[in-house]
Amino acid sequence: MIHTKDLSKAYSGKRVLKIDELGIPKGQSFGLVGNNGAGKTTYFSLLLDLIKPTTGNITNNSVVVDQSEDWKPFTSAFIDESFLIGYLTPEEYFYFIGELRGENKADVDSLVAQFEDFFHGEILGQKKYLRDLSKGNQKKAGIVAALIGSPDVIILDEPFANLDPTTQIRLKGIIKDLAEKQGVTVLVSSHDLMHVTDVCERIVVLEKGEVVKDLETNEATLKELEAHFSGSEQV
């Protein structure tokens, strides 16, 4: 589904990302972990064509991301709060995204209705603007907005941060369901090793912009990751 080839990104000569080859098949739940500055958000921004690659490119469903815009209809993302429009209510925001993705109000309503327990009664019908919601609730609205329009690829940057434990558990359920039952390719980044190992079939570790580990998730994965990040790994 997503193929990365010879990709690199440098800011004024300093290389922050270099991925020679990375393929993500359709329907995979893909986890990206790494310390601050490892290049996770840079990779996602390149994937969304928000920044221009220095060399190489990413192909999303055989569309070269920085050359054509045809990947947009089947790709959606929530990177940070700057994806929200502060002066809209959550409902208005969902409808707006819906219209951009060719869905009418009824479609959006029926999709959003499935997430009532995820919202925990704090998003819908509150008569509040998004800018007045708490960080956690903003995140919930942003994540659900990324699911509108039945995209084939969903990109979520740090979706677990700022969420309360109940919502974290529910979000894990949602992501698993998307990948396993609906065949959606889900890309998630996180600092929380436990969450990613719970949710993702495959985990890639970035370090200083390069892929240092590419793991199929199994029982030993969490231990291996913990060993890697605590620096006590046996070579």
Partner 1 sequence: MKLKHFLNLEWKQFFRSASFGKSIAINILMAFLALYFIGIFLFIGIFLYKILGKVNPDQDALTTLNSFLFFYILFDVAIRFFFQKLPVMSVKPLLPLPVKRSKVVNYVLRKSAFSFFNILPLFAFIPFSITLIVNDYPVTSVLAWLLTAIVVVQIINFLNFILESFSSERELSFLPVIVLVGSLFALNYFNVISFSDLIAQGFTAIYNNPIFVLIPIVVLVGLYVINFKQLKAKLYLDSSLKTKVAVVNASNMEWTKRFGDIAPFMQLDLKLIWRNKRTKSMTMLLAIGLLYGLFFYPQPIYRDMEFMFAFIGVFSTGFFLINFGQFIPAWDSGYYKMLMSQNIKYEQYLRSKFVLMIMSVVILFVLGIPYVYFGWKILIAHFATAIYNIGVNSHVILYGGSFNRKKIDLDKKAAFNYQGTGAVQWIIGIPLMILPMALFGLTNWLVGFEAAVGLLIALGVLGIVLHKKLMTLITKKYLDSKYKMIDAFSQDT
Where does this chain bind partner 1 (CB under 8 A)?
48-52, 69, 72-73, 75-77, 79, 82-89, 91-92, 96-97, 99-102, 127-129, 131-132
Least CB distance to partner 1 at residue 99 (A): 4
In the complex, the smallest distance separating the C-beta of residue 64 from partner 1, rounded to whole angstroms, is 16
Tell me the closest approach of the beta carbon of residue 21 to partner 1, in angstroms.
24
Q: Which residues, other chains included, contact 144 with Cβ-Cβ below 8 Å and sequence gap of 6+?
A: 94, 112, 115, 118, 119, 123
CB of 150 to partner 1, least distance (A): 13
Minimum distance, C-beta of residue 91 to partner 1, in the bound complex (Å):
8
Minimum Å gap between C-beta 188 and partner 1 is: 17
Terminal Cα distance for the chain, rounded = 33
Cβ proximity to partner 1: between 35 and 134 the closer is 134
Q: Write b or e for each residue in 70-99: b if 16 or more Cβ atoms lie within 10 A of its Cβ, otherwise e.
A: ebbebbbbbbebebbeeebbbbebbbebbe
DSSP string computed for 71-115: TGGGEEEE-SGGGS-TTS-HHHHHHHHHHHTT--HHHHHHHHHTT
CB closer to partner 1 out of 61 and 168: 61
Q: Which is nearer to partner 1, 187 or 203 (CB)?
A: 187
User: Measured between alpha carbons, how far is 45 from 53 in angstroms, rounded to an integer?
Assistant: 10
CA geometry: angle at 235 spanning 210 and 5, to 5°? 20
What is d(CA 15, CA 149) in angstroms, rounded to the nearest whole number?
36
Nearer to partner 1, 4 or 45 (CB): 45
DSSP for residue 69: S
Helix axes 90-100, 135-145, angle to 10 degrees: 20
Is the distance from CB of 94 to CB of 144 less than 8 angstroms? yes
* Min CB(180)–partner 1 separation in Å: 25
